Amino acid sequence: MDKKKFGSTQNLCDKLKDYSAVEPSLYEKFNVMRGLRKPDGSGVTAGITKICNVHGYVMNEGEREPTKGELIYRGYDINDLVTNVEKEGRYGYEEVAYLLLFGSLPTKEELDQFNDYLGHTRELPDNFAEDMILKAPSRNIMNKMSRSVLALYSYDKNGEDLSLEGLFIR
């Protein structure tokens, strides 16, 4: 991959930290656990995020009333994102992934660089698709996808490196 074209992994990680950091005191203030465990090792609790907001009700004179519902990614209504992508006849996955990771919609150049980076990092190991997916199909695609992701760990030379940089360099 041409690092000059996309920039360094460290630059990506720095940008991700800038747009995804949550003030540590908020976890305690709102009694939200980080990760999949409470400090005592039990339970799974949803976390605090700067990435998404789901709005499903309004309070009216002290009563909770359901609304149509809204899903907001980094300040953008998901319906607006989808409408614009459909109107322009293009795909939006990478653009929304960039928004979720880095906090803003990408410029054309940033999107091209991000797509280039993804293209260079999405290659599967030799024969993986045939061995893992085609030889043992499943009626449940989500189950099959989960098992495939877990199987990829076996190929990861840095599987235990959970630093942001380690997750980007594979």
106-144 pLDDT, tens digit per residue, is: 999 999 999 998 888 888 899 998 988 888 888 998 899
The fraction of the chain above a pLDDT of 70, given in percent, is: 83
The mean pLDDT of the chain is: 80
- Which one-letter DSSP state was computed for residue 85? H
Residue 117: other Cβ atoms inside 10 A: 20
Least confident range of 60-64, 75-79, 106-110: 60-64
Decide which of 140 and 43 is more confident: 140
Q: According to the model, what pLDDT value does residue 40 have?
A: 52
pLDDT band at 48 (very low <50, low <70, confident <90, very high): low
Least confident range of 40-54, 80-94, 103-117, 131-145: 40-54
Identity of residue 86: E
Q: Answer yes or no: is pLDDT of 52 > 80.
A: no
- DSSP assignment of the chain, as one string? --HHHH--HHHHHHHHHHHH---HHHHHHTT--STT--TTS--------SSEEEEEEEEETTEEEEEEEEEEETTEEHHHHHHHHHHTT---HHHHHHHHHHSSPPPHHHHHHHHHHHHHH-PPPTTHIIIIIISS--S-HHHHHHHHHHHHGGG-TTTT--SHHHHH--
6-37 pLDDT, tens digit per residue, is: 567 778 888 888 877 777 788 778 777 655 44
Q: What is the pTM of this model?
A: 0.60
Terminal-residue alpha carbon distance, the chain: 12
Q: Answer yes or no: is pLDDT of 86 > 90.
A: yes
